[in-house]
Structure 1
């Protein structure tokens, strides 16, 4: 993990975090004092201020520097929308990894860091372990999907939550699931196109995309409950806007076509419909893995406090998945009913 200037600050202020996120924030800044505040007037000049995602507070005192937090790429067994705590977070002092309108800490890291042999060997081992274990960001789904054996090119199109910030800041062209499906079908009229709606949408915790009820018109099959890992293993290509599924497909050696500008595009590993000239370096897959899964995220230790390595996080995800089982428990469905009433479907 690279040392960042904010890691030298004795105090990190945090604004706008719900109570259920606060433990993760404290662990993310292990070794530093975290002060949760309600208003920017509680900030001293020159403070480091943590916020979630792209939230930009107004009226900050002079010299206050923002740290943007988001879920990491190996997150949990279950959905964040279900209020399941994350096993990893990312901290970015320049932007955010999904904001293609400006450089982020991750982009600068991938553009400039020299990846040594030991780090690359570690990245390769981590990648192989992750793929062998069948782990993805959320690790949900119990159904088994079998692709047809008909000789046609098999393309997976993962849906996204259309209000997601990664589309607002990382998709300068296509931003709707239906438009993506239409573009994929028109470019690949003979392919077998499979659409997998986002798990938050399947769970009823986020709204369908505009016109998404017509998705079947532009694909051969819609798959709801199958795990992402199994689907990635069974297809030939993955077409995305900015979905993390594209990164997960790269880990599994699949061809990835990006219609947006996700963090893993522009490095020579994907086919990019909308190129990002700012990213000039050509990376190997294990260099990308080293940056995205080893150097950039912070993995959280809820048992003992502090942080853990990505290898330890992978082991804990495996154990978590084994203990949780593959099916959604009955009480989770009841919890979702409450969340829909309290939070609403956005």
Structure 2
């Protein structure tokens, strides 16, 4: 799972002695520990090694000790998919290059990356497929080494020559055979090669943040040269460029991935493999690589990737899942929110999820929320059922619980692991378009269906549902050749019933409809957990058409035991689809109307037909699952207290390693249940 090349780490010493305070960093120490190393102070003994950070100014201390004691020297550097912010802005790395041979930006000796690139067969079909998917995922998710850029910012009009700046005095410049003068030569060459083109100089992210100086100054550049320091997407910049010039920046590597052949004035790891126009000679690099092969070396085989939620080494794909989750949260929350309609008990979790960048401002009324949003320039964040009376001109995100929510009920004040945000509508309201609908209608991203399959397999194998309550399967009547139909009860005043049904809207009416259509079947009624707990309305009388009421039963066991499922709008219908069961809908839940269910309710025409009036093709189940479980929700890991991908949430729900609700929450839940018959008091 580490992604390390075969035998690349064999023979490395376990104990590594360090002489740089940077190795006291907890994340750095943890990754090295998981990679099998123990960091030590003092002097190495036979069999020990010395570690240094790249070619930093302090590296000479360790180099001298290693030479004096004849100890192996291990150089450590950030991997190429690092973090949201640069290290100088406080973010810890998600991966390391642990190199016993050299350093990727110093061609004076062959580095780990160079050795793998020169000697690995790089002909494994699965490896190269992973590399191609990885390249496509980086572009689709708009991810780079650092990720403070804003995909919403428009790139300059296409047709420019892109010249890539770097920070002054960076070791990757000095050891790449370049100087500050090299950058002036690079710009002059670009202007000479393209005398009539616009020249765009892209600042390094650390320069844009004011952390380190670059090599170019906007006040001294020629008239046809523009210095770009805004947070425009690197991939958008590369898409609009007609040529790319670089010294040793990682953006030059990404230019290769974007289809360019960059002209290089330094000697980075990606030079000399037939993918660049080089100013330096590389006599050791005699092999021509494809983009996928180079990517496989640099991003899959060489690094040691780290999963900060599960605290373990992981694959490239898993670290990409994590960075996607963190970057999505940052992009959505970077300007802060004014929050409305959030019950007091939910506010702590909402602050954890949406207030990591800028703390939420809570408002009590739509009027005060609108005023605060206009004053601060923040968008609104509104609990979906409370999103009424808001000015239409204010950007608004509606919030609801996600579909893999918790181990316990929201009505019991158990905080959610997943929340959905919707800038168009909300998934349970078919009267208007939702962001989930658009995700279902759009093609999945690269690798999305494979990821959805693995997720669905895990959900079904681990018997996970929205609430994951404990329960058993009651004794069911023998079939005797009759079909068993699971009838899913709901909270009758739930918004999904109020908005998503037009005829049958009570549990008793649902049971009568199912009995009428299936007079010989065994009807098994599953009450909603909130109704069973006495917290919400929806109880049915004992003389209902059900053959058995499966109280406090395990929903997945019931799904498995039944031949089909009938529901109005319950999420249990979606969970039954994931488990391969036929589902009949009498309302219009988000999963209805795509060719996967038998629909007896009123389905919005936009789900059934394309804009030209032709009938829409059925949506594959994995496509629906990707939209609903991966693309639409945001997940929060209460253990590591950071955004996480759904795979981490599944691990938490399956293992039960979740913080318990405190006594105050339990007392509030009981009070809420006592007042359930007077909803106007607590809603």
Q: Secondary structure at the match of 1:54?
A: helix
The answer on whether the counterparts of 1:88 and 1:300 sit within 8 Å (CA) in structure 2 is: yes
Aligned to 2:426: 96
**Which of residues 16, 24, 30 in structure 1 aligns to 2:349?**
24
Q: Classify 1:315/1:20 alpha carbon distance in 2 versus 1 (closer, same or farther; 3 Å).
A: same
> Do residues 229 (structure 1) and 560 (structure 2) align?
no
Aligned to 1:10: 335
Q: Supply the distance in 1 between the matched residues of 2:591 and 2:492 (Cα, whole angstroms).
A: 20
Q: CA deviation at 1:16?
A: 2.5
- The aligned runs of 1:18-97 (5 Å cut-off) are 18-29=343-354, 31-33=356-358, 34-38=360-364, 39-40=368-369, 41-44=371-374, 47-58=378-389, 60=391, 63-97=393-427
Q: Supply the distance in 2 between the matched residues of 1:220 and 1:59 (Cα, whole angstroms).
A: 47
**Which of residues 113, 121, 127 in structure 1 aligns to 2:450?**
121
Aligned to 1:338: 671
The answer on whether the counterparts of 2:429 and 2:500 sit within 8 Å (CA) in structure 1 is: yes
**Which of residues 203, 207, 224 in structure 1 aligns to 2:537?**
207
1:95-138 deviation digits (Å, cap 9, x = unpaired): 00000001100001111x21246210110111011101001011
Q: Classify 1:28/1:335 alpha carbon distance in 2 versus 1 (closer, same or farther; 3 Å).
A: closer
More RCO (CA 8 Å, sep 6+): 1
Aligned to 2:251: none
**Which of residues 265, 269, 273 in structure 1 aligns to 2:596?**
269
Q: Supply the distance in 1 between the matched residues of 2:397 and 2:504 (Cα, whole angstroms).
A: 29
Q: CA deviation at 1:43?
A: 2.7
> Do residues 296 (structure 1) and 625 (structure 2) align?
no
The answer on whether the counterparts of 1:47 and 1:63 sit within 8 Å (CA) in structure 2 is: no
Q: Supply the distance in 2 between the matched residues of 1:116 and 1:221 (Cα, whole angstroms).
A: 44
Q: Secondary structure at the match of 2:472?
A: coil
Q: Classify 1:189/1:301 alpha carbon distance in 2 versus 1 (closer, same or farther; 3 Å).
A: same
**Which of residues 621, 646, 652 in structure 2 aligns to 1:316?**
652
Q: Supply the distance in 1 between the matched residues of 2:665 and 2:514 (Cα, whole angstroms).
A: 35
Q: CA deviation at 1:246?
A: 0.2
Q: Secondary structure at the match of 1:239?
A: strand
Q: Secondary structure at the match of 2:523?
A: strand
Q: CA deviation at 1:21?
A: 1.0
1:142-170 deviation digits (Å, cap 9, x = unpaired): 23324333221000001010110001111
Aligned residues: 336
1:41-70 deviation digits (Å, cap 9, x = unpaired): 33316641111123134364x731221100
1:187-218 deviation digits (Å, cap 9, x = unpaired): 00000001111110101111235xx215x431
Q: Secondary structure at the match of 1:68?
A: strand
Q: CA deviation at 1:276?
A: 3.0
**Which of residues 578, 600, 603 in structure 2 aligns to 1:251?**
578
Mean alpha-carbon deviation: is it higher for 237-246 or for 146-155?
A: 146-155
Q: CA deviation at 1:311?
A: 0.6
Q: Supply the distance in 1 between the matched residues of 2:583 and 2:515 (Cα, whole angstroms).
A: 15
Aligned to 2:566: 239
Q: Secondary structure at the match of 1:340?
A: helix
> Do residues 110 (structure 1) and 446 (structure 2) align?
no
Q: Supply the distance in 1 between the matched residues of 2:502 and 2:422 (Cα, whole angstroms).
A: 22
Q: CA deviation at 1:338?
A: 2.9
Return 5+ residue gaps in structure 1 as ranges.
325-330
Q: CA deviation at 1:319?
A: 1.4
Q: Supply the distance in 1 between the matched residues of 2:673 and 2:141 (Cα, whole angstroms).
A: 40
What CA RMSD, in Å, does the superposition of the two structures yield over aligned residues? 2.6
Return 5+ residue gaps in structure 2 as ranges.
1-139, 143-150, 153-330, 608-615
Q: Which has the larger radius of gyration?
A: 2
Aligned to 2:487: 157
Q: CA deviation at 1:332?
A: 9.7
Q: Supply the distance in 2 between the matched residues of 1:81 and 1:67 (Cα, whole angstroms).
A: 23
TM-score of the two chains, using structure 1 as the length reference = 0.89
Q: Supply the distance in 1 between the matched residues of 2:665 and 2:581 (Cα, whole angstroms).
A: 33
Aligned to 1:328: none
Q: Classify 1:2/1:224 alpha carbon distance in 2 versus 1 (closer, same or farther; 3 Å).
A: farther
The answer on whether the counterparts of 1:139 and 1:321 sit within 8 Å (CA) in structure 2 is: no
Aligned to 2:7: none
Aligned to 1:136: 465
Q: Supply the distance in 2 between the matched residues of 1:24 and 1:151 (Cα, whole angstroms).
A: 49
Q: Supply the distance in 2 between the matched residues of 1:13 and 1:333 (Cα, whole angstroms).
A: 28
Q: Supply the distance in 1 between the matched residues of 2:404 and 2:644 (Cα, whole angstroms).
A: 13
Q: Classify 1:300/1:109 alpha carbon distance in 2 versus 1 (closer, same or farther; 3 Å).
A: same
Aligned to 2:474: 145
Q: Classify 1:95/1:334 alpha carbon distance in 2 versus 1 (closer, same or farther; 3 Å).
A: closer
The answer on whether the counterparts of 1:300 and 1:308 sit within 8 Å (CA) in structure 2 is: yes
TM-score of the two chains, using structure 2 as the length reference = 0.46
Mean alpha-carbon deviation: is it higher for 7-16 or for 292-301?
A: 7-16
Q: Supply the distance in 1 between the matched residues of 2:345 and 2:670 (Cα, whole angstroms).
A: 18
Q: Supply the distance in 1 between the matched residues of 2:411 and 2:495 (Cα, whole angstroms).
A: 15
Q: Secondary structure at the match of 1:11?
A: coil
Q: Supply the distance in 2 between the matched residues of 1:164 and 1:317 (Cα, whole angstroms).
A: 25
> Do residues 306 (structure 1) and 642 (structure 2) align?
yes
Mean alpha-carbon deviation: is it higher for 39-48 or for 8-17?
A: 39-48
Mean alpha-carbon deviation: is it higher for 17-26 or for 268-277?
A: 17-26
